[in-house]
Amino acid sequence: MASRLNPYLTFAGDARQAMEFYKEVFGGKLDLNSYGDFGQKDTPMADKIMHGMLETPSGFTLMGADNPEGTEKQAENNFSISLSGDDDAELRGYWEKLSDGGQVTVPLEKQMWGDVFGMCTDRFGVPWMVNISGSEG
């Protein structure tokens, strides 16, 4: 397997719901492993996600997990996930699903550099950037 770089998201107890949501958005194969699957069956973390991985038909890989017990998720985000390409319909479809129930910070529209670009934070607090190159939008 070649080396790859992909986002790994940390959640405060709702990783299962978030990863299932991203599967609805992007499609693909979702594998979820709980803490209970790895020997912590009789703990409060048993049903929480220890590791989740979504591999999509477009070649995206997104990983995520719930914070381990005794640690705290930081309130601020120091990252964004960027989706870019030239497939207008595909990227607009992702935008619509990701922004639904979230907050749009930059509307998806033509920008000064000529591409269509937008920024939103989805309903799980994850920030996204979408850039559609060569779009007439």
Report the chain's mean pLDDT, rounded to a whole number: 88
DSSP 90: H
At 36, the pLDDT band (50, 70, 90 cuts) reads confident
At 72, the pLDDT band (50, 70, 90 cuts) reads low
Q: Could you tell me where the DSSP H helices lie in the chain? A: 15-26, 88-99
Residue 135: pLDDT over 70: no
Q: What is the pTM (predicted TM-score) of this model?
A: 0.79
Q: What pLDDT was estimated at residue 10? A: 87
d(CA 62, CA 19): 8
Residue 71: pLDDT over 80: no
Question: With pLDDT > 90 as the criterion, what percentage of the chain qualifies?
Answer: 62
Residue 28: pLDDT over 90: yes
What per-residue string of b and e applies to 81-90 under the rule 16 or more CB within 10 Å gives b?
bebeeeeeee
Q: C-alpha 8: how far from its chain's center?
A: 9
Q: What region, left, alpha or beta, does residue 100 occupy, with left being phi > 0 and alpha being psi -120 to 50 degrees?
A: beta
Residue 1: pLDDT over 60: no
d(CA 49, CA 19): 10
